[in-house]
C-alpha cells in the first residue's frame, strides 16, 4: 500500500513540484497551501509523513511542528522541514521543535527523495513479486 505524504507549502510551484515528485515515486499526496489548515488536514488525511515549509504566511512552520508534536493523534507522524533560510542555528531550532528531518532549498530530486525514504522507509521501487514459485 502506498505511503501518504501531507505537503505544507505556500509557494504554488514548490507545492506542485513536491507533490508531483512524490506521486512519481508512488506516494499518495495531500497538498496544503495554507499552514493554518495543516493540523485539520493531517487529522483527516492521516499521513505517514508531513513535509513542512518553515517560512509560511500567517503561521510559522516551527509553530506548526510544535502543535503537531503536542497533539496525541499526530505526534508520531515524522515531519521533514524544508526551508530556503538555512542560517546558522536554524536546523537546531527546527529539530528542537520536533522535526525528524531537515532539508534546505533549493532541493535536488535525489536529496529530497532520500530524506523522505529515510523518514518513512518506503521503497516504492521494490515491488513485491506475487508470481507463484
CATH code (residue 90): 3.40.50.2300
Nearest to 107 by CA among 51, 64, 59: 51
Total domain count, the chain: 1
pLDDT digits (tens, 9 = 90+) for 104-124: 988 999 999 999 999 997 554
| 129 within domain boundaries | no
The pLDDT, as a whole number, for residue 123 is 55
| 133 within domain boundaries | no
Task: Calculate mean pLDDT across residues 40-69.
Answer: 96
| 97 within domain boundaries | yes
The boundaries of the domain holding residue 58 are 4-120
d(Cα 117, Cα 113) in Å, to the nearest integer? Answer: 6
DSSP 43-76: HHH--SEEEEESS-SSS-HHHHHHHHHHSTTTTT
More confident residue, 86 or 27: 27
| 128 within domain boundaries | no
Amino acid at each position: 500500500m502506498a505511503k501518504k505524504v501531507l505537503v505544507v507549502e505556500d509557494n504554488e510551484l514548490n507545492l506542485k513540484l513536491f507533490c508531483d515528485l512524490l506521486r512519481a515515486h508512488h506516494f499518495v499526496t495531500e497538498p496544503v497551501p495554507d499552514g493554518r489548515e495543516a493540523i485539520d488536514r493531517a487529522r483527516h488525511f492521516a499521513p505517514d509523513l508531513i513535509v513542512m515549509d518553515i517560512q509560511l504566511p500567517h503561521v510559522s512552520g516551527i509553530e506548526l511542528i510544535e502543535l503537531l508534536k503536542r497533539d496525541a493523534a499526530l505526534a508520531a507522524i515524522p515531519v521533514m522541514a524544508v526551508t530556503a533560510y538555512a542560517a546558522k542555528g536554524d536546523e537546531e531550532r527546527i529539530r528542537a521543535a520536533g522535526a525528524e528531518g531537515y532539508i534546505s532549498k533549493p532541493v535536488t530530486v535525489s536529496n529530497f527523495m532520500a530524506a523522505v525514504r529515510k523518514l518513512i522507509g518506503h521503497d516504492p521501487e521494490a515491488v513485491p513479486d506475487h508470481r507463484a514459485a
